[in-house]
Structure 1
Amino acid sequence: MPSSPRIVVCGPASWNHLIELDRLPEPVPHMQFARRAWHTVGGTSAGKALHLAGLGIDVRLWAAVGDDADGARLRKRLEKAGVVVEAIASEQTERHVNLMAEGGGRVSLYVSTPSIPPADAVEATVRAVAGADLAVIDLSELGRLVLEALPGRGTPLWMDLHDYDGSSAFHEPFLRAAEGVFMNDDATEDPWELMSSCLERGPRLAVCTLGAKGAIALEAGGARHEVSAVPATVVDTNGAGDAFMAGFLAARLRTEPVEVALHAAAEQARVAIETEHLHPALDR
């Protein structure tokens, strides 16, 4: 395999307004003062692409971006950070307002969402996925359409299921098409059982992040792995899971074993949470 394999990441990229509060608002009329606020790049696919590019991986981000001011800001910041953006035309750029509080509390408000991608854009994305060494298809309408149009298993596909509960119908086609899946433990009391149920439907590897406790992984053959979180000065936890997955995939592309890849992933997550952006390159 080449030293810098091509990876396609397909899914959400957004322009976000982050507002940090002392506490999340209660559902009653009142006034609060923000501790700080800033605008920055968001979106799970953008986060993965940023960290893969920062690790020297040849990556292409396929994402819906509007021909508007938010889209121009988004593309400019990503491209300056080294991400090649294959923008899919959308009526508007995805935009969020994230309310955050100490301890990890967060409420994400979707201010605008992308329009349904046109058929020719889906076809172009499918061709890009088919020609890549590895692809990440993130949960999104674009991702769903791409999976439906893929001719069959060829390019290894990796999926981020986020807070999967083990039964969501929307997640099912992503799960069944994957070689490997990532998730967090937000919606389960037994992450080992959740990962085991995922492997019964096709993937060869499942990884579950546990926040400050680190992460665990389960291989189809039954091998279990655990890694502790890397000590960090926490600035913002947004995008930590995307950074973790990017670090893991970069290590696996170097043919590192799962145990080594998990440690690389934990280190990459530290990179994300020590900046107020998805990646330190956006600070510049």
Structure 2
Amino acid sequence: MPASVFLAGPASWNRMVLLDRLPEPVPHMQFAHASWETVGGTSAGKALSLTTLGRPVVLHGIAGEDEDGLRVREALQAAGVVAHWTDGITERHLNLMTPRGERVSLYLSTPAETTGEADGAHAAEMAGADAVVLDLAAEPRRLLPLAVASGTPLWVDVHDYDGVGEYHRPFLAAATAVFCNADRLDAPVEFLRAVVAEGAAFAVCTLGAEGAVAVGADGAEFRVPAVPTTVVDTNGAGDAFFAGVLDARLGGADLASALSAGARPAAGVLTTRHLHPLLDPILGDPRAA
């Protein structure tokens, strides 16, 4: 029987480096406050949070059987995430972070799209799911027509979209629900209204410490404050927020209530240096190293 959520996209092995400031584009030397390795990837983050919420989800990811790929697969399995893996290049990042949550992600290796051998099975799973989530990557982009044909509501997360980039346009055009953050948007609410006008049922923009704002199909604007918490690391918070909203909406919540449901797991993820607290007992606390 298909899971409630069909999720496809990145699951990576990341080297995290904590700096007092992001590097300037000139030759120089900086000292890191800390560094550690962990699971990354926006789809892995969503799968971890949905699993914690009790929402049946299957993560469809690409990872090799090399050392780093096995680390990703084994950590997510130990955390209880159900995943279907396709063998390929393991995605790897070097993430430069600051205590303020600023980030530069250097992609060291990235999987290509597959040949589509599993498309028949994917189509059946999508048609039987309550929601399809396709994250920004080559393989999910290839799956967009399959998702549209399934008739299942499609949720997308365009992250730090600037409002004009072409790569994101097919995701936006196909989506029922659109999520983004405000890092590169000068006018987030206007962007959300434009997305809804183009056919999305609703659109949401996260605002960091200021919470999130959403626009519904009728043009109504909703806001939710961030839940106060101790911020250790910001990676994965947006994915947890997305997962909380998705789970609440599938459970019948209205948009305002769903935003509040998303803020709670986002606050929980901010308390760990891993992608999700589920990984703490599996990968250990980097601060203790």
The residue correspondences of 1:49-198 to structure 2 (distance < 5 A) are 49-90=47-88, 92-150=89-147, 152-198=149-195
More deviation, 146-155/104-113: 146-155
Backbone CA RMSD of aligned residues: 1.6
Identity %: 52
Specify the alignment match of 2:254 in structure 1: 257
Letter aligned with residue 46 of structure 1: A
Structure 1 residue 153, shift from structure 2 partner:
4.9
The residue correspondences of 1:232-251 to structure 2 (distance < 5 A) are 232-251=229-248
- CA separation in 1, counterparts of 2:177 and 2:212? 15
Letter aligned with residue 135 of structure 1: V
Q: Give the secondary-structure state (helix, strand or coil) at the position aligned to 1:28.
A: coil
Going from structure 1 to structure 2, the CA distance change for 1:106 and 1:225 (only over 3 Å counts) comes to: same
Letter aligned with residue 12 of structure 1: P
Selected match of 1:47 from 40, 45, 48: 45
Q: Give the secondary-structure state (helix, strand or coil) at the position aligned to 2:142.
A: helix
Structure 1 residue 58, shift from structure 2 partner:
0.7
**Contact residue 3 and residue 58 of structure 2 kept, 8 A:** no
Gaps of 5+ in 2: 282-289
1:173-226 alpha-carbon deviations (Å, 9 max, x no partner): 211211111111122221111001101211111111111111011111122110
**Contact residue 99 and residue 233 of structure 2 kept, 8 A:** no
- CA separation in 1, counterparts of 2:51 and 2:36? 23
Q: Give the secondary-structure state (helix, strand or coil) at the position aligned to 1:119.
A: coil
Aligned residues: 280
Structure 1 residue 105, shift from structure 2 partner:
1.9
Specify the alignment match of 1:283 in structure 2: 280
**Contact residue 123 and residue 149 of structure 1 kept, 8 A:** no
**TM-score, structure 1 length as denominator?**
0.94
**Contact residue 42 and residue 236 of structure 2 kept, 8 A:** yes
**TM-score, structure 2 length as denominator?**
0.92
Structure 1 residue 109, shift from structure 2 partner:
0.9
2:201 is equivalent to residue 204 of structure 1: yes
**Contact residue 59 and residue 84 of structure 1 kept, 8 A:** yes
More deviation, 166-175/120-129: 120-129
2:224 is equivalent to residue 217 of structure 1: no
Going from structure 1 to structure 2, the CA distance change for 1:73 and 1:189 (only over 3 Å counts) comes to: same
